[in-house]
Amino acid sequence: MTVKNQASIETPETTIDWSVGDLEGASIQRSRKLLKDLAEVYPKHASSGLAPDTEVYSVQWWAPAREGQEGGLLWGVTHLQPGRVGDEYFMTHGHFHALATRAEYYTAVSGQGILLRMERSGHTWAEEMTPGALLYIDGRHAHRVVNIGDEPLVFWACWPSDAGYDYGTIARDGFGLRVLERNGKAVLAPVVKEQHVEHND
């Protein structure tokens, strides 16, 4: 007796809407970063006049592989809101990958922004993020995104599930450049670190 294979076409559990930057599915995870969550990024936020619960950015991501699993990929989208704290634009926290051999892709959907990249030495540079731009981020580079436009900056990302996150270095040392508004335009400003001078009296 011959047994025929019975096969069916399954419907994907996860869908994306490229145009608005939205993920749908039972396993989609979501998080929000409010101004009060970014005290390390904006030390003077309390005197900015903005409400502490102001949303700076939100993230949706799909993790078909568990975080830390070798060989898997994660997929996500970030909505970075327009705004400034004083003269400094809204931005993501920024991080290194825990594993320097794990790279990442960013691609912008809408809005106008800047990708800051930094080496462990502190050398920092900037790249434009405009709709259609596809950016490859070396796993050795810290990365932070800044919204310099008047609308949400929406960008997709794909990264290895075992990349991990090093936020501590950024919290301690920051980035080598800040993005400030000057006469209606975004400018790059080097960060001058305070030096501790010992006095031998």
Predicted pLDDT of residue 198? 55
Question: How many domains, the chain?
Answer: 1
Tell me, yes or no, whether 13 lies in a domain. Answer: no
> 29, 89, 99, 110: which is closest to 69 by C-alpha?
99
At 196 the pLDDT is 47
- Residue whose entry in the numeric block shows the structure tokens 């069916």: 8
Query: What domain range includes position 129?
Result: 18-190
What is the distance, to the nearest Å, from the Cα of residue 80 to the centroid of all Cα atoms in its chain? 9
* Contact of 78 with 92, CB cutoff 8 Å: yes
Q: Is residue 145, in this structure, part of any structural domain at all?
A: yes
Model confidence over 82-140: pLDDT tens digits? 999 999 999 999 999 999 999 999 999 999 999 999 999 999 999 999 999 999 999 99
The SS3 call for residue 173 is helix
Residues 61 and 29 sit within 8 Å (Cβ to Cβ):
yes
Residue 48 lies in a domain: yes
For 14-70, write each residue's pLDDT tens digit.
Answer: 999 988 899 999 899 999 999 999 988 988 766 688 999 999 999 999 999 988 899
Condensed to tens digits (0 to 9), the pLDDT of residues 144-174 reads 999 999 999 999 999 999 999 999 999 999 9
